Amino acid sequence: MREAGRIMQDQGGGHIINIASLSAFTGRIGQAAYTASKRGLIALTTSAAREWGASTIQVNAVLPGFLDTGMTASLTPEQKRNLIGENVLNRPSTLEEVSDFIYSILSKMKYVSGQIFNLDSRIH
């Protein structure tokens, strides 16, 4: 982020999207390091937004929700069902939905910075 921010300052602005997780707010057994890193990323996002706002650099974070990816491949079917069951819509996000949302931030939301966008309908 630091290097990208320097380049964006020289270019007159830009947009950084960090990918965080709802785990930053809820925590999970056995995921202390993951939870701490995602919570730290959220703090970094909001601090960088404040620091770079005057340079027209937007910094936001997206919490994509449960996705069926390589990272979740080791979960048992029961664990996956339980995670999806915490979602009030009872379905996971898709990669397409997440990428469409990020594209919307980049292409349409020229006035938004320092925000944490939760794309999972789990309520924390």
Which residues are tagged catalytic? 34
CA distance 113 to 115: 5
CA angle, 49 as apex, 124 and 112 as ends, to 5°?
Answer: 75
- Which residue is associated with the tokens 């949302």? 101
- Residues pairing with 57 in the sheet: 14
Question: Helices 2-11 and 32-52, interaxial angle, to 10°?
Answer: 20
| Polymer length of the chain | 124
CA distance 15 to 5: 9
